[in-house]
Amino acid sequence: MRNFEYAAADSEADALSLLADHPGETAILAGGTDLVSLLQKELVNPRRVVDISRVSELKAIEPTDDGGVRIGALATLEELLASPLAAEYPSLRDVASAIRAIQIQQYGTIGGDLCHLPNCWYFRKGYGLLGDSNGRALSEEGDNRYHAIFGNRGRAKFVSASRFAPSLIAWDASVRIAGPAAGEEAWLPLEQFFVTPKGDQQGVTRLAPGQLITHLELTPAAGRLSGAYEVLEMSGLDWPLAAAASTLEMEGGVVSRAKIVLGHVAPTPWVSHPAADVLRGQPITEATAELAGEAAVSEASPLKDNEYKVRLAKTAVKRSLLRAAGANV
Amino acid sequence: MPELPVAWKPQAENVVFGKEVSRIDGVDKATGFAKYSADINTPGTLHGKLLQSPYAHARIKAIDVEAARKVPGVKAVYVFPDRAPRTNEETGEPIYFEIEHEGQPIAAVAAETSGQADDGLRAIKVVYEPLEFFVDEFHLPRAVELGRARPIRAAQQGDLEGAFKAAAHTITGMYGIQTISHMCLEPHGSHCEFTDGDHLTAHLSTQNVSGTPGQFASPLGLDAAKVHVSCDYMGGGFGSKFAADEWDIACAAMARDAQRPVKLMLDRATELNIPGSRPSAFAEITVAADADGKLVAWDSHHWGTSGPQGGTVAPTVMPYVFEPKNRRTRATGIVTNRGPDRAWRAPNHPQACALTQTAIDDLAAAIGVDPYDLFLKNLDLTWSATSRNPADKDIYAAELEIAAKLMDWKAKWHPRGEAGDGPVKTGLGLALHTWGGAAGRGTCTVAIHPDGTVETFSGTQDLGTGTRTALAVILAESFGLPYEKIKVHIGSSKYPMSGPSGGSTTIGGVSGPHRRAALKALGRIYDLVAAKHSVDAGTLTAANEQILSAGKPVCTWAEACSLLGPMKVEFQGEGPANDGLTSAQVGGVQMAEVAVDVETGVTKVVRYVAVQDIGTIVCREQAKSQVLGAMIMTIAYALSEERIMDNATGRFVNADLQHYKLPRIGDIGELIVEFYEPESQYKKGVIGLGEPPVISGGAAISNAVANAVGQRIPVLPLTPKRILDSLRS
């Protein structure tokens, strides 16, 4: 680990001003579950680490005026699990409870999850997000068993690491981005927050230097069904091999609108329109869920080592729908 | 009186020996009072760190460490032997060191803080000339093409061709088991400190306390007598901690240069990568049976890699335990740029078992019989029927029966693939194993103090298995004392020599000498008590902290010891000896029940039964723990644990605990341990238990998965990827 300057913020404004001092040379510390290992491996080498963990205005989970919920970026996964407001969004609980390490539940924050950098082993070994070594595309040539099966025709083959993004996007969540200037803020649909980098200098989100995410807002849950399913190989702390989250609006026992988002299968959370389309006008049954799963993977483009993830993605979609419909799968 | 006969007490008279007792150091370990090498922080201790090669194969063209020496806080810099370019004195040609695998150490620094050590490492300039590398252990033709394959041995016996022709059933299959790392909970490393100028004290995490002082002394140019190796506690070794490793020598050399203590423990990525691995093995196997299901012919060719040395699993253990009369075994080692192997718990056996007994299970499925019946029918072909004689076929038969009852095998077993329509399929599998476990060399000094205090000194070590507790129990049973009162001193090279803890040799190696020393001491004490109290020494026994004559108390233990005189008296024990206290050769049967979700490929062990014979049991609870630990380790290598070597970079890409997947509590299922222990086992003598229970579970779990999903998933670990890839094809 290299030396860095540590600065603790006690308000959002304070955090923005501490970030503004060293444009592009700062890192934001919340729970630290990702940043600390990035620092240890010298994959990020900030001049200053801005600790926002004491900024109390970013911790609350509270109702919005329209009956939705606003979640502070510093809400921990444990707080999310305990929150009666979040309980109205079952797919979020499916994900929070699947993060089985108590330490991560206690320290990890929802904002940190959204900003978690990819677990791609080429990135983590220092070959950059695109996994380049002297012009060779390592994640294409090398072992890509955990890599993307969608959105992988460009140079980026890694999978988005966020556990919560699929279910939040399925709930049409929006995200508040503050900065870089004091008082500057923007609300963005979370679906648009993630980007697939095309060059070495690009990141995996729209966050610009000096910005931070402060809150998420979810529209009212009432009347909608949701479920998430992560394919986890291990019962302890483990990352999904594939995941899916579904939010459904039902009318007369059939789906009037479905939003189905896959995780850990593409460089960004992957919204599946084909899966949503086949469900419209259908009840949720084992058979329709299976069809939606098949539709979801119809455009998959697996790499040489990850054909199996197509099956997993299909299963995840199917089981997320069955969970949304109340089945215990 | 004449010397007391050397034997364990009659089984019925034991109070603590063979019973369930808590570890005498359990509280110390649980509370952190127990100090491991990483816990040693004598004043002024510097942080030692390694500079390692990012390349799998490269020449070192230049090393410049001068800038590192000037980094603030850096107190010593060490370049590993031969790494720096040299000149051939005769030809004048330069000689460049060839890196053979990623992570190979090049240099080390010791600094005041961990961060300054990192700064020091960054200041070292190394010029590499990258070379072609090869890390593919699976694709043999590619290795042959590149000249990386080394035929190791071919052995043939009987009329192979005739036997295959005459056979009623023949199957051919491909099988395999990937490389794993030792992954000790406590990483390798040491804390080294010089005192009085040239006396080294090394707190080394080692399986070889008595054997490592010389390993430090020679490269450092010290007298071995000036090196003290200490290892009070350690967190596992599994065969990878017999040496003072080159990074330990670096640690000591820097401590001497800096005249400060230095601690250098490997970090987790390095622990996974360089200090040991278990070689992979893949095989093409053809095996045949006659119409009755008797194995008649075997033909196998296996390959794999132990790293740069190019070894693989020893062909001598193929086929594993079952030996058809007509057989041929061939083996090919592959030279790879992968971290080197070290002995891993039951070297060669888990791989050989995973190759052999899966093929035999496939043969049973092809014939359409319950593998239980096929295994039972072929027990006369186990090594017990040959000159190797490691385990008894009748014991295997008894153990199969016990295991089947515990598993409810006959009620639960279904033909392969007939596991119902739902996505979660359950299945059963079994396998069996053998191991030696003879006593290693050992000596000890048992001291009896006039106040009755008993202590023992032995240069053995406790890998985490419970050696301390075993010694306390043996002496306590011998002297009729509470085991908590025995003072056990181990883990120091200043104590009487005891052998390395490997090959399951420790319990036999320490229990024999301690019982012998205790019997010598008892004989002396009985003589003194007999003289003082006018009783016949031959009637005396020790129990309940008393000396008894024909069952009646004569005096207390402390009163008896006071007769020894004003000074403590020491009794030496040594071993091994051929006196019946210890023995060798055990067997065991394991059965697994698994549930496989065929829509995700995720497999869970539902129930896992281990039946094991181990001769005389010293500490029942600790023996059971050995088996449980082995079963957990087995679930790891059967389902999720593997070293992933990347063909694009030559690097060990999952050298972290995120992608190097180890089971947690929820992955373990129900574990059932049963010792096979009729009276004959108690009379057999003490035998080591460390390795045998880790051998056959891989095959048993693989067989259970095949039974569940209807086909063999050829290569362990049985990850979702391997299961779904196989099911798709």
Give residue A175's pLDDT. 98
Average pLDDT value for residue range B272-296 = 97
What mean pLDDT comes out for the span B617-646? 98
- Where does the pLDDT of residue B224 fall: very low under 50, low under 70, confident under 90, or very high at 90 and above? very high
Please check whether the domain covering B340-437+583-728 is classified as CATH 3.40.50.720: no
Looking at chain B, which residue has its C-alpha nearest residue A305? B721
Confidence band (pLDDT; 50, 70, 90) for B154?
confident
Whether B724 sits inside 8 A of A237 (CB atoms) is no
3-state per-residue secondary structure call for B480-529: CCCHHHCEEEECECCCCEECCCCCCCHHHHHHHHHHHHHHHHHHHHHHHH
- Asked if A44 and A67 sit in the same domain, the reply is no
- Indicate if A26 and A163 belong to the same structural domain: no
Instruction: Indicate if the pLDDT at residue B197 is higher than 90.
Output: no
| Percent of chain B clearing pLDDT 70 (strictly above) | 99
Tokens at A175, concatenated: 């995200």
As assigned by CATH, the class of the B11-27+439-575 domain is alpha beta
Q: Whose CA is closest to B389, among B327, B441, B438, B330? A: B438
Residue B447 identity (one-letter amino acid): A
> Token digits for B601?
């490929």
Looking at beta carbons, which residues of chain A come within 8 Å of B658?
119, 239
Asked if the ipTM is above 0.90, the reply is yes
Q: End-to-end CA distance of chain B, in Å?
A: 77
Whether A22 and A163 share a structural domain = no
* Exposed / middle / buried, residue B68 (Cβ in 10 Å: 0-12, 13-18, 19+): buried
Is residue A185 in a domain?
yes
Average pLDDT over every residue of B562-581: 96
User: What is the per-residue pLDDT for A23?
Assistant: 83
pLDDT at B390 over 80: no
Tell if the CB–CB gap between A125 and B664 is shorter than 8 Å: no
At residue B389 the predicted structure's pLDDT band, cuts being 50, 70 and 90, is: low
Residue B578 has a pLDDT of 93
**Fold classified for B38-131+188-265:** Aldehyde Oxidoreductase; domain 3 (3.90.1170)
- Residue B647 has its nearest CB partner, among A121, A142, A236, at A142
CATH number at residue A65: 3.30.390.50
B387 has pLDDT over 70 = no
What's the gap in Å between the CA of A160 and the closest CA on chain B?
16
Q: What is the mean pLDDT of residues A133-141?
A: 92
Q: What does the pLDDT read at residue B153?
A: 79
- Residue B392 — very low, low, confident or very high, per pLDDT cuts 50/70/90? confident
Q: What percent of chain B has pLDDT over 90?
A: 97
Task: Closest CB to A239: pick one of B602, B640, B658.
Answer: B658
Separation between Cα atoms, residue B707 and residue B431, nearest integer Å: 13
> What is the least distance, in Å, from the CA of A184 to any CA of chain B?
37
- Topology agreement, domain B11-27+439-575 and domain B38-131+188-265: no
Tell me the nearest-neighbour CA distance from B726 into chain A, angstroms: 10
**pLDDT tens digits, one per residue of B574-623:** 999 999 999 999 999 999 999 999 999 999 999 999 999 999 999 999 99
Higher pLDDT, residue B433 or A135 = B433
Q: Say whether both A7 and A105 belong to one domain.
A: no
* A2 in B contact zone (CB under 8 Å): yes
Quick check: B339 pLDDT over 90?
yes
- pLDDT > 70? residue B2: no
Residue A304 lies in a domain: yes
Residue B729 has pLDDT above 90, yes or no: no
Tell whether A225 is covered by a domain.
yes
| Residue A22 pLDDT grade (very low, low, confident, very high; cuts 50, 70, 90) | confident
Domain ranges of chain B: 11-27+439-575, 38-131+188-265, 340-437+583-728
B663 CB neighbours in chain A (<8 A) are 234-236
Backbone angles phi, psi at B508, to 5 degrees: -65, -40
Best CA proximity match to B642, nearest among B181, B272, B267? B181
Query: Is 80 exceeded by the pLDDT of residue B385?
Result: no
Considering Cα of A263, then A268, then A269, then A275, what sign does the dihedral take?
A: negative
Print the domain residue range for A25: 1-52
Asked if the Cβ–Cβ distance from A235 to B653 is below 8 Å, we say no
Residues A295 and B595: their CA atoms lie apart, in Å, by 28
Interface test with A, best of B51, B721, B722, B723 (most A CBs within 10 A): B721
Domain count, chain A: 2
Spell B342-367 as b/e; 16+ CB within 10 A means b.
Answer: bbbbbbbbbbbbbbbbbbbbbbbbeb
| pLDDT tens by residue, A179-213 | 999 999 999 999 999 999 998 889 999 999 999 99
Q: Express each pLDDT in B504-514 by its tens digit.
A: 999 999 999 99
Tell me whether residue A230 is in a domain: yes
CA separation for the pair A81, A95 (Å, rounded): 10
CATH number for position A40: 3.30.43.10
Q: Is the pLDDT of residue A298 over 60?
A: yes
Amino acid present at A118? P
A245 Cβ under 8 Å from any chain B Cβ: no
Rounded distance, CA B39 to CA B359, Å?
47
Same structural domain, A48 and A164: no
Which position has the higher pLDDT, A177 or B3? Answer: A177
Contact B649 A138 (CB under 8 A): yes
Q: What is the mean pLDDT of chain B?
A: 96
